[in-house]
Structure 1
Amino acid sequence: WKDERIIMYNIGDWIYDSVKKEKVQIIEIIDLWGFLSYKVFNPLSNEIYKVSQDCIDKIDKYDYDEFYVKYITMLEKIKSETSQGLLSNLSNGIIPLPHQLHVLNRTVSNNNIRYILADEVGLGKTIEAGLIIKELKARGLVKRILVVCPTGLVTQWGIEMKEKFNEKFHVILPSDYETIKKITDNEDVYGQFEQVISPMDSIKPLDKRAGWSEEKIKKYNEDRIYSIINSGWDLIIIDEAHRVAGSSSEVSRYRLGSLLGSSSPYLLLLTATPHSGKTEPFLRLIRLLDEKAFPNTKAIVKEQVAPYVIRTEKREAIDNEGNKLFKNRITKTVEISWDQRHSMQERLYELVTEYVRNGYNKAMKEKKYYIGFLMVLMQRLVTSSTAAIKESIEKRVDILENQQTKIHSLSMEDLVEIDLEENLEQAIEVMSLNIKQELLELKEILNVAKQAEFEYLDAKVEMLLEILDNLYSQEKGKKVIIFTEFVSTQKFLKDYLLSKDYKVSVLNGSMSIEERNQVLREFKTETDILISTDAGGEGLNLQFSNVVINYDLPWNPMKIEQRIGRVDRIGQKQDVLIFNFIIKDTIENRVKNVLEDKLAVILSETGIDKMSDVLDNEMAELDFTDAYIKSIRTPKNIEHNVKMLEGEIKQQIEMSNKYKELIREDKDLSKDIYNSSEFDLDSSLRKMLESYCAWKDDITLPIQHLSINDEEIVKHINRELEVNVGDMIPHISIKDTPNEEGYFMIWELTINDDKYCRRVIPIFINKSMVLRPLAGKKLWDILLKTSTNFQVVNNNKIDTNILDTLKDKSKEFAYDVFIDLKGQYEKNLIEKHNKYLYAIDLRIEAASKIGIKNIREARLKTLSREKKEEIDKYNINKSICPVLKPIFLAYLEM
């Protein structure tokens, strides 16, 4: 009673499911009581199900139309881009520079997105972070993003994310915390926003606070820290990340970094100075990325560090035409002499220097280091301006006379690190060693300061006016930045320049974020001159200006480099002009000259081209204050004092060369020059789905807002497609295209089922079986264009012999692509394997030193098992299993 007319199929045959309108493959035949059915695999839905004989048809009924061709060509284009390209549409935002594109490509090359972005100052690490954010969002990998940065950079982050990437971030300041809780009626403050910027110091854990109980501190930490830690971030970015490395693993900033690092799958640490020459802080920093890979300092070797650090130095950086990125610097030292008109200024300097010399000697003798800081401050003030030293002396006299001094516990290290502007008031209040004697000295100094102000303008301000008049006679719209260390000098300069009809803005560390923003807008659009203190200038991007005047010259050359870095940035269109003011007949000038001579010799000996190559990091650790203050105490010993510093500088540069090699990345940036792509993921996904729905006669799109990780999209991306013997193939006629007659194919090459090791290869072979190497890509591009007019004229079955010939020729063409893909696969595999193997061996070495036998043996057993699992996994993955299969085949007619 079996119907002999029923067509029988074999296991492995492809048939047509007339209900789901899909091509399916038979994996089992079920014949029971005369009822024939098949277990089939559907490559689109990745399902296995049963279908009866009544609901199937021969595959030659599986017709392909224009919509199918559009669907399959766009699907393969998306697969190609997602396997090796960038998904974010860069052409809609900024055009990345080669080093920025290099960072983007490296970070998204695998799923372990935890890196230190260590480009030198001025290369645009914020832009790099923005590019990564856009790409990860395009891939559907991140939604909730937290940026933690110093307070002075909060505004810059918000502006750059909005203006350059159209990404809205909410700034949450400590003052906003309670307000947000009240408005939202929700304890989860950070959970109210998907993208947040928060100042670093406003969320670090407190150890203690005057008048607070342990319970109150604990409550504060839970409110601030754990509310942000537990907010479910997908990506955390820490800017100026070297600050969270800390001086020990117990400091609050390091604890903050550890908590943040462990609370998000993706982590970016941004710092121009990841390694200060000391291994321990760098170890703490890189352990935030991968604690297991860096169990101890022995792991700090180039091979282990390289996968985690991405760094470009300024000298490497090029633009998208391959030209050097940065403009030249022209530095002019302006030595200013006191003449007869400035006799009281000279006398004032001598008196203050004598006061400083005596006070500092007594302070060091009695180990009253806080007095030492006051003395350093007074010496800096007298070379800044008469107004600055006069104002501070007046305050100091008033405090001493009214007995309002305070006890401070500043150490010698504080004298090096402390900020003059921020701690001026604190220094002026310190206890006196001899109030009566100090008051006598100060009142004499104050009297001379008043006479100096009355006598004549400061010599420095005369020179400043001359330089400004010259600059503005050459170019009316020039923007000039003047740096000083003190607010009192800033005020003096502002009043004076306003009286000379210059338009002036001022910026200092006491200003709020809103005030800073207003000043920057004002300087960019309205005023000629910005007078800034060092604290005020932190984090500024001022490349629309190209003139920096260092009215006060800091003792540490690194601060000068940081100032110049505000204008010597990407986007600077002119050479940078720097004026360094120094008074000629001062001990400071003599120290500076000796120091610069020594530096020139050291740099020559070490093969470093210019001082700026070392000033932005190595010298951060050096005590220039000590060399200057010792020379003020004993001027005849300047050579000796600088020689002591010279030895430290040589040592620092030697260490620098070692660690620079450790974090240096060998690369050719010319390979990363940006070529604009017309590929837009969002529109491509929509076009692909629209074509599919039209092919299936389905008028509704399954989803409105598309993402590469949407369930419906993933279904298509994972679809197993292959042209098989006996399949029907579309015959296509393309209007207004001078193509030959022949076979257009799209092939997929994969290695070990790794989606990151996939290449999509378009190939064209004409009807005479001659391969045309360039035609495949051109035809693919033509079919992808919306404007292309083509028709599927019919569908015919592909001949077995023809298919075999096409496969042989395509296999030969794809071999070079395979070799390149294989090389990349093996390189990534070996690099990852060696990294973890090295770390496990270090952990085994450390565990073998555990004193308690049972703990040691248990630990070693666990690590031995881990190591074996890693080796077994590597041995499996190192076996190369390439698959090359035809995904689409069409015959092009003339």
Structure 2
Amino acid sequence: MTTPYQSQYFAYELTRQHSSRSIGRLSQSLINATVDLNPHQVEAALFAFRAPLERGAILADEVGLGKTIEAGLIISQLWAERKRNILIIVPPPLRKQWNQELWEKFYIPSIILESKNFNEMVRSGHRNPFLQQDQIVITSYQYARNKADMLQKVNWDLIVFDEAHRMRNVYKKSNKIGRTLRAATAGYPKILLTATPLQNSLMELYGLISFIDPHIFGDETTFRRQFARGAKEMSDVDFLDLKRRIQPVCHRTLRRQVTEYVNYTQRIPITQEFMPTNNEWELYEKVSAYLQREQLFALPTSQRALMTLVVRKLLASSSFAISDTLHSLIKRLDQLLIELERGKLETAAGCFDVYEDVDEFNETMEEWEEEEQPIHNGLSLSEMKQLILQEKKELEQYYELAKSIRENSKAEALLTALEKGFEKLKMIGANEKAVIFTESRRTQAYLREFLERNGYTRKIVLFNGQNEDEQAKQIYAEWLEKHQHDDKITGSKTADMRAALVEYFKEQASIMIATESASEGINLQFCSLVVNYDLPWNPQRIEQRIGRCHRYGQTHDVVVINFLNHKNEADKKVYEILSEKFRLFEGVFGSSDEVLGALESGVDFEKRIQQIYQTCRTAEEIEQAFKNLQAELDEQIQLKMKETRMHLLENFDDEVREKLRDHYHQTSLHLNRMERYLWSLSKYEGAKEAIFDDETLSFTKDDETYQMISQAKKQERSNVHHYRFSHPLAQKWIEQAKSRQLIPKEITFRYSDYEGKVTILERLIGKEGWLSLDLLHVQSLENEQHLIFSAIDLDGEQLDQEICEKMFELPAVEGEEIELSESIGNTLRRMSEAQQATILNDIMERTSVYLDAELEKLEKWSQDLKNKLEKDIDEMTVEIEHLKREAKLTRNLAEKLEMNKQIKELEKKRNDMRRSLYDQQDEIDEQKDRLFEEIEKKLEQRTATEHLFTIKWRIV
């Protein structure tokens, strides 16, 4: 029992733009999300929209609070408002994760832009691949830097930087990526996501804030002079000034403040040692010594260090991984010998497939910079030939040794580790499921075959960068058939294959053996056992792996098993650092990230480890090298700014908790209301096309079943499409309702048929009157739309907005067409105009407060710059006085004359500075006034009113 008048009201309520002061600012985003949102995430998203003129914000919530979801809410809202030029810049390993989460949680399509598809698009005539139609662009920091000129040509609605602490040293001239990206993204709204915006120096905070708004502080020098001495040396006045300046753009919530809403689980570490056999250890020692040589022909000189790293990973992985690698190196030497016969030697000769066995290689290479070394080092062709033949013979011996090893002691230890792990899972009541990570696809194949021989037949699924084995193809085909009538299928074979394998693991398999591909972009929170069969040296990659299971939404503690070679001193030291310094394997959810934030890039750490393996030959050398590295890490990780960060960025717990409780209540009410409106509108507009079921909040159309997201989250069903605000059907019906021309009619609202009690309406039962609805558009500080009800009863008593909104939620029926008298029309119009005046006055007051804040900000910014000029003169005066004293004390005539010459030059320079001081200060004031005029223009209030309909109402 819904009328077209109610349907139209619901349509406008669903699509109108709210002020960022209310939960309604995220209306469309909230009813689109398939994830249960927590109040701190809603608050963070609203904070970003409240940021001055939507320049952007730094969202610095502690790890484990779902900053990706916060950014997703912001992106989803902009998407619904048709602001779709959105760029996400992330470290390479996070690209797939963002791609997947945007689709799974918000139904937003995205494209990962990298060299291969970028070049393909350019070749096919796309002038700028960064400009995408209805797709969000995801790219890495390095690629964004490389294509900064193309990136700059797009008029971005939003740019998101994930792991933004990588940019915090942008104030340093050596930070080329940061400086390039700051220049390329200047003027566009930005969201910076980082749990550690401040690690070692307040200058890092200055660096990040300069991305958002370059006018919050003067310049680097003035900031350093005023604030960068540290909290203890700073005056209370300066500290409060700094806190006030950053408050409008920096938001931080702590885990302890949200314990009412988020359940945190622990990590339980288990170390599984193994003893290599004599043959395995001999192979390891020989290949390791081979890799340490200064000159090798089998490794391409352009990537010598990276290539050595890859070979070392495969050597530690399994004899099967290294045997095929050795065979590839032998083939490369054969290729070099052929080239020598032709009388030339190319440095990149002999393309070979070593890298193909390692899934994350491309991401590592993207961050890896290396200088190419000459291949010949002055050797003649005959000398080279002799050395290559000798190297080949040696590699052939290692290859034969590797092939002779039939079983690996580490694999035997895996059986014990799995028993321990599964026993622990039983104790904590978790699913008996384990994900085993290895660096190598050859090791992966060996482990499947080994485990199937040892009691795990038909319990294993593989996951890698190719997913081309027969089992994967069969799983994919069955998955496509199973989901042909729901929203799971995206149309991207890669994404759908990944989803099919994860679902198979969840529903049927006990073990997933995965390469690094599974550490990116998949959700395995139904699994609580992570086995690092091969342990990467990059701590950020380890966190990625564990984070597939130990993540937001995990309900059980997560067991983490790591393997340790009992004979390998260097391996033990690496594990010690990863465990003790980075605290990766134990503690509450995500505790390691506070420390990981100390690293700008895990690849740099990998390089340091690689250097130790390459240069140290004795146990003593290894011990000393790791001691030095640990000392450096202590310096980086000691978090000396922790106290400053706490006082500067964090608010009182009680104050935050109270706000979050209010958000929790408001979000629930708003979401329920919006869902009711969408459901009622859909039932009315789709009545001739679909059959609706109120009990399950689902409907059937053209033999397809659709269900409201809120209901679908409670009971997951196959062959059901998730119905939401952004669904094409919803959009069609909303537009249908909005475009309808409605003439004045009699509408009877049936309170007697309403399932519930609305006290404020009970006194109106049996009464009738008149009502009109107008839509007010306001463009000022924010674009806002207000739906204004004007209503009276026949006694002339006015009905307020809340009563009208409640009335429109009652069951209702249409009556006869009516004539609207001039006097009633004028009364309703005057009421509407009065309400509009109140709304506009409220917006003007908010705008005035904002203008005062902007003026104060620009005043401080200009004063910073002026103070710098005066400080420079004062410092030069001090230098002159110092030189004068020195000149008086010296007895050497030549020195005295030279000093007096310097004094005269400095005095001349100081006089020039004094003369130009006022001109420069006037110039700063002019610049400040220009900036303020620009802001005033943006805030000029523009309004328009649209009359929607008028009715005669009755409540029975």
Q: TM-score, normalised by structure 2?
A: 0.58
Whole-angstrom distance in 1 between the partners of 2:922 and 2:162:
40
Output aligned runs, 1:451-466, within 5 Å. 451=401, 454=404, 457-466=407-416
Q: What amino acid is aligned across from residue 492 of structure 1 in structure 2?
A: Y
Secondary structure of the corresponding residue to residue 668 of structure 2: coil
Q: Which residue of 1 aligns with 2:763?
A: 739
Over 3 Å counting, the alpha-carbon distance change for 1:270 and 1:169 in structure 2 is same
Per the TM alignment, residue 634 of structure 1 is displaced from its structure 2 partner at its CA by: 3.6
Output aligned runs, 1:732-771, within 5 Å. 737-739=761-763
Q: What amino acid is aligned across from residue 461 of structure 2 in structure 1?
A: V
- Residue 265 of structure 2 contacts residue 558 of structure 2 at CA under 8 Å; is this kept in 1? yes
Secondary structure of the corresponding residue to residue 197 of structure 1: strand
Over 3 Å counting, the alpha-carbon distance change for 1:891 and 1:255 in structure 2 is same
Deviates more, 1:611-620 or 1:548-557: 611-620
Whole-angstrom distance in 1 between the partners of 2:431 and 2:494:
24
Quick one: which of 628, 631, 638 aligns to 1:647? 631
Q: What amino acid is aligned across from residue 131 of structure 1 in structure 2?
A: L
Q: Which residue of 2 aligns with 1:48?
A: none
Output aligned runs, 1:80-479, within 5 Å. 82=19, 84=22, 85-86=24-25, 87-88=27-28, 90-94=30-34, 95-110=36-51, 111-119=53-61, 123-136=65-78, 140=81, 142-149=83-90, 156-169=97-110, 187=127, 193-200=133-140, 204=144, 225-226=149-150, 229-241=152-164, 253-254=177-178, 257-258=181-182, 260-262=184-186, 265-271=188-194, 274=197, 277=200, 285-297=208-220, 299=223, 302-314=243-255, 316-318=257-259, 322-338=260-276, 342-352=277-287, 359=293, 379-397=312-330, 399=332, 403=336, 421-422=361-362, 447=397, 450-451=400-401, 454=404, 457-468=407-418, 478-479=432-433
Over 3 Å counting, the alpha-carbon distance change for 1:253 and 1:712 in structure 2 is farther
Q: What amino acid is aligned across from residue 347 of structure 1 in structure 2?
A: E
Q: Does 1:785 align with 2:809?
A: yes
Q: Does 1:521 align with 2:545?
A: no
Whole-angstrom distance in 2 between the partners of 1:828 and 1:203:
37
Larger Rg: 1
Over 3 Å counting, the alpha-carbon distance change for 1:275 and 1:77 in structure 2 is same
Aligned residues: 729
Secondary structure of the corresponding residue to residue 863 of structure 1: helix
Whole-angstrom distance in 2 between the partners of 1:154 and 1:398:
34
Secondary structure of the corresponding residue to residue 549 of structure 1: strand
- Residue 421 of structure 2 contacts residue 529 of structure 2 at CA under 8 Å; is this kept in 1? no
Q: Which residue of 2 aligns with 1:483?
A: 437
Q: Which residue of 1 aligns with 2:863?
A: 841
Q: Does 1:614 align with 2:594?
A: yes
Per the TM alignment, residue 578 of structure 1 is displaced from its structure 2 partner at its CA by: 0.7
- Residue 390 of structure 1 contacts residue 446 of structure 1 at CA under 8 Å; is this kept in 2? no
- Residue 345 of structure 1 contacts residue 449 of structure 1 at CA under 8 Å; is this kept in 2? no
Over 3 Å counting, the alpha-carbon distance change for 1:332 and 1:660 in structure 2 is farther
Whole-angstrom distance in 1 between the partners of 2:118 and 2:304:
39
Whole-angstrom distance in 2 between the partners of 1:82 and 1:711:
24
Per the TM alignment, residue 464 of structure 1 is displaced from its structure 2 partner at its CA by: 1.4
Over 3 Å counting, the alpha-carbon distance change for 1:155 and 1:635 in structure 2 is closer
Output aligned runs, 1:615-634, within 5 Å. 615-619=595-599, 623=605, 625=609, 629=613, 632-634=616-618
Per the TM alignment, residue 579 of structure 1 is displaced from its structure 2 partner at its CA by: 0.5
Secondary structure of the corresponding residue to residue 582 of structure 1: strand
Whole-angstrom distance in 2 between the partners of 1:611 and 1:776:
51
Q: What amino acid is aligned across from residue 189 of structure 2 in structure 1?
A: Y
Secondary structure of the corresponding residue to residue 335 of structure 1: strand
Q: What amino acid is aligned across from residue 215 of structure 2 in structure 1?
A: K
Per the TM alignment, residue 520 of structure 1 is displaced from its structure 2 partner at its CA by: 4.6
Deviations 1:808-840, CA, capped at 9 Å, x for gaps: xxxxxxxxx9xx999999986776555434333
Secondary structure of the corresponding residue to residue 542 of structure 1: coil
Per the TM alignment, residue 788 of structure 1 is displaced from its structure 2 partner at its CA by: 7.0
What is the percent sequence identity of the aligned residues? 22
Q: Which residue of 2 aligns with 1:493?
A: 447
- Residue 100 of structure 1 contacts residue 128 of structure 1 at CA under 8 Å; is this kept in 2? yes
- Residue 461 of structure 2 contacts residue 501 of structure 2 at CA under 8 Å; is this kept in 1? no
Per the TM alignment, residue 776 of structure 1 is displaced from its structure 2 partner at its CA by: 7.9
Secondary structure of the corresponding residue to residue 485 of structure 1: coil
Decide which structure has greater helix share: 2
Deviates more, 1:560-569 or 1:420-429: 420-429
Whole-angstrom distance in 2 between the partners of 1:706 and 1:70:
8
Whole-angstrom distance in 1 between the partners of 2:152 and 2:933:
36
Over 3 Å counting, the alpha-carbon distance change for 1:823 and 1:603 in structure 2 is farther
Per the TM alignment, residue 137 of structure 1 is displaced from its structure 2 partner at its CA by: 5.1
Whole-angstrom distance in 2 between the partners of 1:395 and 1:756:
62
Whole-angstrom distance in 2 between the partners of 1:575 and 1:541:
16
Per the TM alignment, residue 333 of structure 1 is displaced from its structure 2 partner at its CA by: 1.4
Secondary structure of the corresponding residue to residue 54 of structure 2: coil
Deviates more, 1:250-259 or 1:564-573: 250-259
- Residue 72 of structure 2 contacts residue 102 of structure 2 at CA under 8 Å; is this kept in 1? yes
Over 3 Å counting, the alpha-carbon distance change for 1:386 and 1:647 in structure 2 is same
- Residue 215 of structure 2 contacts residue 861 of structure 2 at CA under 8 Å; is this kept in 1? yes
Q: What amino acid is aligned across from residue 574 of structure 1 in structure 2?
A: H
Q: Which residue of 2 aligns with 1:675?
A: 668
Whole-angstrom distance in 2 between the partners of 1:390 and 1:706:
63
Deviates more, 1:585-594 or 1:431-440: 431-440
Q: Which residue of 2 aligns with 1:10?
A: none
- Residue 112 of structure 2 contacts residue 137 of structure 2 at CA under 8 Å; is this kept in 1? yes
Over 3 Å counting, the alpha-carbon distance change for 1:522 and 1:529 in structure 2 is same
Whole-angstrom distance in 2 between the partners of 1:255 and 1:620:
15
- Residue 119 of structure 1 contacts residue 312 of structure 1 at CA under 8 Å; is this kept in 2? yes
Structure 2's unaligned 5+ residue stretches are 229-241, 338-344, 349-357, 378-382, 469-491, 685-730, 742-747, 753-760, 774-779, 792-798, 825-838, 874-908, 937-951
Per the TM alignment, residue 107 of structure 1 is displaced from its structure 2 partner at its CA by: 1.5
- Residue 315 of structure 2 contacts residue 322 of structure 2 at CA under 8 Å; is this kept in 1? yes
Per the TM alignment, residue 549 of structure 1 is displaced from its structure 2 partner at its CA by: 0.7
Over 3 Å counting, the alpha-carbon distance change for 1:249 and 1:305 in structure 2 is farther
Q: Which residue of 2 aligns with 1:544?
A: 526
Deviates more, 1:71-80 or 1:850-859: 71-80
Secondary structure of the corresponding residue to residue 262 of structure 2: coil
Q: Does 1:505 align with 2:462?
A: yes
Q: What value does the CA root-mean-square deviation take over the aligned residues?
A: 6.6
Whole-angstrom distance in 2 between the partners of 1:123 and 1:568:
13
Over 3 Å counting, the alpha-carbon distance change for 1:505 and 1:733 in structure 2 is closer
Whole-angstrom distance in 1 between the partners of 2:199 and 2:623:
27
Per the TM alignment, residue 508 of structure 1 is displaced from its structure 2 partner at its CA by: 4.2
Whole-angstrom distance in 2 between the partners of 1:177 and 1:77:
37
Structure 1's unaligned 5+ residue stretches are 1-65, 207-220, 409-417, 691-702, 714-731, 747-752, 765-774, 799-816, 876-889
